[in-house]
Every structure is written in structure tokens, then in C-alpha cells.
Amino acid sequence: METFATLLELIGTIAFAASGALIAMKKRMDLLGVIILGVITAVGGGILRDLILGITPPLAFRDPLCAVVAIATSVLLFIPWLRHRLMHNQRLFDVVLLIMDSIGLGVFTVMGIWNALTFTVHHSAFLLIFVGVLTGVGGGVIRDVLAGNMPFILVKYVYACASLIGAFACALLRKLLPLYAAMLFGMLLVLIIRLLAAHYHWNLPHADDVE
């Protein structure tokens, strides 16, 4: 189970680091800015989660693995050949960003629940879901605020809803299924909802729909 969690964490770290690096490149930052936004996006949600759960110092400060993987991911995306391709093909850029951000959202949502279960004692379903959503969306919110963008969570089709539904499913199913299965299911649910929503432009009523 430990190994499974570490593996998931690494997948989420790579995905979120890539999303941060892509947005930094779009903002024409230099290599260092790209690495920093990649690392902050990858570890930000987890640090927030650990502070909330009272895990100090946060896990990201104890083990350099995630930071190193996030740096490597950001540097990789900065390789001229790859960067050139991504920067000059808006559609490719958007698709890669969407997929990376969605994987990160899904992975960190269920990892939030896993950490709440592992490191704390009194975990209600509400706490698990709240911590899951916060961990899932946290890294992306920090990324968007630092990059000067309106956070995805406030403007993207069903962004937080996808995380909420996945967290809900994971928190419920863990009573029926082995934990790793509930986590995988919750993660895939987030990913599928988010991709479908982006593809079909699922939308909720806007404040100006009355006009």
C-alpha cells in the first residue's frame, strides 16, 4: 500500500509539475521561473494538506524525492525541441495542459484522503472529502495565483466539482472495496469528468445569463 501511494504521488507530482512548467513557459518566464512554478505546483497542494492535518514539517520537506522529480519534469519540458513544439501549437499545448492538470487533480484528491486516513485519528467523511478536494485543487490554485491567472477552480467547467465527486466516491467506496481500489476509482472518476466536461464544454449558469 505504501508503494502504491508513493507511485501515485510520483505520477501526480509529474503531472502537476508539467502543468506549472507549461503555464510558466506560456508567461515567457526563464528556465528558473519554469522550474520554480513547476515545483511549487507539484508540492503546494501537499504542503497545504499537511499543514491542515497538523503534519509538521510537511512530508515534502522530509524527502527530496518529489522536489527532484518536479525539477526534472520542468527541465525536460524546457528542452528546446519539446518546448518549440508546445509553444507553437496552441491546440497541442491546451490538450497537454488539460491532461496533466486533470491527472494531478485526480491523483492529489485521493492522496489527500489517503494522507488524512494514514496520519490522523478522527476522520469523518466530511473531513476526508474536504481535505481531498483541498489537496487536489490546492497546487493549481497556488500556481494560478502566482502566475497572475484567474484560478481554474473559479472559472473552468466543473473543475472543483470533478474533485468533489471523486473524493465523495473514494470516501464512500473505501468501506466496500480495498482502499487502493477506491482510490483508483475516485481518481479515474475525476479524470473522466474533467476530460468530458472540457470536451463537451459542460457549463453551469453564469451570473450574466439573466441579461
- The residue ranges that bind a second copy (CB under 8 A) are 24-34, 36-37, 47, 51-54, 56-58, 60-64, 67, 78, 80, 83-84, 87, 120, 122, 124, 126-127, 130-131, 141, 145-148, 150-151, 153-155, 158-161, 203-208, 210-211
Pick 1 or 63: Cβ nearer a second copy: 63
Pick 63 or 94: Cβ nearer a second copy: 63
Pick 176 or 204: Cβ nearer a second copy: 204
- Residue 80 makes CB contacts below 8 A (sequence gap 6+) with none
Q: Which of 115, 105, 208 is nearest to 159 (CA)?
A: 105
Q: How far is the CB of 103 from a second copy (least distance, A)?
A: 21
Q: How far is the CB of 127 from a second copy (least distance, A)?
A: 5
Cα–Cα distance for residue pair 105/132, rounded to 1 Å = 10
Q: How far is the CB of 50 from a second copy (least distance, A)?
A: 9
Pick 44 or 106: Cβ nearer a second copy: 44
Could you give the C-alpha distances from 79 to 11, 31, 40, 73, 211, in angstroms and in order? 20, 10, 20, 10, 48
Angle between helices 90-119 and 2-26 (to 10 degrees): 140
Q: How far is the CB of 57 from a second copy (least distance, A)?
A: 5
- Residue 25 makes CB contacts below 8 A (sequence gap 6+) with 34, 77, 78, 83, 86, 87
